[in-house]
Chains A and B, each alone.
Chain A
Amino acid sequence: MSKRSIRDFKEKSMKSLFFIGGITTILVLLLIFVFLFAEALNFFKTYSLIEFFTGTQWMPGASPERFGILPLLAGSVIVTAGAIIIAVPIGILSAIYIAELAGPRTAGILKPAVELLAGIPSVVLGFFGLVILVPHIQSIFNLTTGQTALTGSIILAIMALPTIISVSEDAISSVPSALKQGSFALGSNHWQTIYKVIVPASISGISAAIILGIGRAIGETMAVMMVTGNMAIIPGSDLFLSSVRTITATIALEMGEVARGTEHYFALFAIGAVLFVMTIGVNLIAEAIKRKHRLEA
């Protein structure tokens, strides 16, 4: 073989290697998708779709069994929303602080500290929540139990923070200094420069950070399950202070004891499919935000 054809061969085989890699990922995703939705469809052969989506009770043991997703959906949404409300402002402010305001020494301590926070296993966080947060929340709000949606939100926020901080901080730090100088040269102060130039210039990165953080929060199971009380009820006016059960917690709690092929078994796949659609939705929104800002920039 000539040198040239060897090079061609190398190039071709590299190409197909990457192609196989890419295709495998898509295939696995497709497989999961098909499996999940096939099993979920089985559920709707015996259970009404409308009752599933509008039912306010999740009672697998009762007769007749009730599989209304609303309490679980409410649990997931409330816990996640709470986590976002807590983590987004703290995360963005911390990122701005580290990237723009802290001196090099402070930043040098804070950045590794944030990364350390990301390394804490979720079970450990759940344990911390159970032992420290739960009693405090119980006494502060004078509740019968401290295992509430709020507790779950706080734990989730702690888990989402490292992602939000480090990805936003990256985005903020990579704003070209020419832009900052342009702003200062017009006589604006540091704050104006931060919120009118630096943050808008890095908004796609910050949005990505938030969505990545939320993505982690929605799918998270273990820590939340340990602190939210897992009562499958739709919270009333006590909202964040009510005990809730998330979709992920339900699957994790019940999958082990359910008999294969029963209606309950398929019901768990159905709520899994709903969760899957939700996460895909979040990701699509993230993509849309990113694309919009790329076009604007």
Chain B
Amino acid sequence: MNATKSENAFSFADTLNGENEFDSDEDDFESENEIEFENEIEFENETEFENENSGEPAPSFSTGKVKKKIIEVKDLDLWYGNNHALKNISIGIPKNKVFAFIGPSGCGKSTFLRTMNRMNDMISNCRIEGEIYIDNENIYAKETDVNDLRKRVGMVFQKANPFPMSIYDNVAYGPRIHGVSKKKIPGIVEESLKGAALWKEVKDRLKDSAFSLSGGQQQRLCIARTLAVKPEIILFDEPCSALDPISTRKIEELITKLKKEYTIIIVTHNMQQAARISDYTAFFLSGELVETGKTVHIFENPQDERTEGYITGRFG
């Protein structure tokens, strides 16, 4: 369990008192399930969804029922060998919102994030049961084209990982591999760099190596690279953990801006960050989804005492 994260404790802690000695041993939590929690998110004022971004109309699900959520996870279990890393997760992710995943180190946030673009496929001893629907399509169905899925569900990693090529080529990489015509690429590159709030800083040095950029700029380049393939959903796995406060603030502003066009899921260890930028939050603990809901509810009025314990910094 991660003790260093306690300094990020959210300030709602002031309102709480009582047992500060929360035992951080995860096994203790599993038995005390006094409080019921809901995995389903309730939507107020959200029956309408703007369709400005989605390229193709979503194929309708076999039941014919139109879903409100762009991602729908049903009874998902995941094992690394014998390690049961995700336990019966069900959750819905609404479109054009920022969804934060929080929880102590090793609880399975990254693992869960990777199930959504099937990056876990590359881990040899990883086994998955359950279903994930994106646009009403089961991404674990046999006929799913994984590369097409990853085009729709982009990912930004914890550590910026630009390719060893020029700034321009980094952004052009995605469109090129997906066979976008040569004429369109300069426009896409500019648009994506603008989208990632990097254009002004690099427009005169597009031919320079991506490694000549600062860490924060590299991370925004990686975001631009992801935008260039025009995804619907972007997964961020602790995108700011290696950045200084100013770069972090830039990325946060960017994410807030991006949610107009994209659905965003972000893993973060920073409680203030989750509170600042996310609309919804899910709290994970040792592979279980403990609680999820609107961020304000989770932070101000958590239903589960384990959630409360975590966000007030008493463990994790």
User: Using a CB–CB distance below 8 Å, which chain A residues touch chain B?
Assistant: 176, 178-179, 181-189, 192, 196-197, 200-201, 296-297
Contacts and interface: CB of A to CB of B under 8 A. Distances in A.
A contact face: mostly helix, strand, loop, or mixed: helix
Given A176-B161, A179-B161, A181-B119, A186 B154 contact: yes
Interface of B: 117, 119, 122, 147-151, 154-155, 157, 159, 161-165, 173-174, 176-178, 209, 211, 222, 225-226, 229
Contacts of A182: 157, 161-163, 222, 225
B207 to A, nearest CB: 11
A184 B122 contact: yes
B151 A187 contact: yes
Contact of B229 (A184, A186, A197, A201): A186
B164 A186 contact: no
16 contacts: A176-B161, A179-B161, A179-B164, A182-B162, A184-B119, A184-B122, A185-B117, A185-B150, A185-B155, A186-B174, A187-B147, A188-B147, A196-B173, A200-B163, A297-B164, A297-B211
Contact of A184 (B148, B150, B178): B150
Nearest to B158: A178
Q: Residue among A176, A181, A187, A296 with the most chain B CB within 10 A?
A: A187
Given A200-B164, A297-B164, A186 B150 contact: yes
Contacts of B162: 182
Contact of B163 (A183, A184, A189): A183
B87 to A, nearest CB: 25
Contact of A178 (B151, B157, B174): B157
Nearest to A189: B147
Nearest to B149: A187
A200 B161 CA distance: 15
B209 A296 contact: yes
A178 B209 contact: no
Contacts of A188: 147, 173-174, 177
Contacts of A181: 119, 122, 157, 161
Contacts of B173: 183, 186, 188, 196
Contact of A187 (B148, B157, B222): B148
Contacts of A201: 163-164
A5 to B, nearest CB: 43
A293 to B, nearest CB: 9
B146 to A, nearest CB: 8
A177 B144 CA distance: 24
Nearest to A295: B209
Given A185-B155, A187-B149, A188-B147, 5 more contacts: A182-B162, A185-B117, A186-B150, A186-B225, A187-B148
B177 A187 contact: yes
Contacts of B229: 186-187
A189 B229 CA distance: 14
Nearest to A296: B209
Q: Residue among B164, B222, B226 with the most chain A CB within 10 A?
A: B164
A33 to B, nearest CB: 37
A183 B119 CA distance: 11
A185 to B, nearest CB: 4
Q: Residue among B119, B165, B222 with the most chain A CB within 10 A?
A: B165
Contacts of A179: 161, 163-164
A296 B209 CA distance: 6
B122 A178 contact: no
Contact of B151 (A183, A186, A196): A186
A186 B174 CA distance: 6
Nearest to A186: B174
Contact of A296 (B164, B174, B222, B225): B164
A185 B177 CA distance: 12
Contact of B209 (A183, A187, A297): A297
Given A186-B173, A187-B147, A178 B154 contact: no
B174 A187 contact: yes
Nearest to B147: A187
A203 to B, nearest CB: 9
Nearest to B228: A186
B165 A178 contact: no
A48 B180 CA distance: 62
A293 B220 CA distance: 24
Given A181-B119, A297-B209, A297-B211, A186 B161 contact: no
A184 B229 CA distance: 12
A179 B147 CA distance: 16
B129 to A, nearest CB: 23
A179 B159 CA distance: 11
A179 B165 CA distance: 12
Nearest to A193: B177
A11 B164 CA distance: 39
Nearest to B118: A184
Contacts of A200: 163-165
Given A176-B161, A178-B157, A178-B161, A185 B211 contact: no
A186 B209 CA distance: 20
A181 B122 CA distance: 9
Contacts of B163: 179, 182-183, 197, 200-201
Nearest to B175: A186
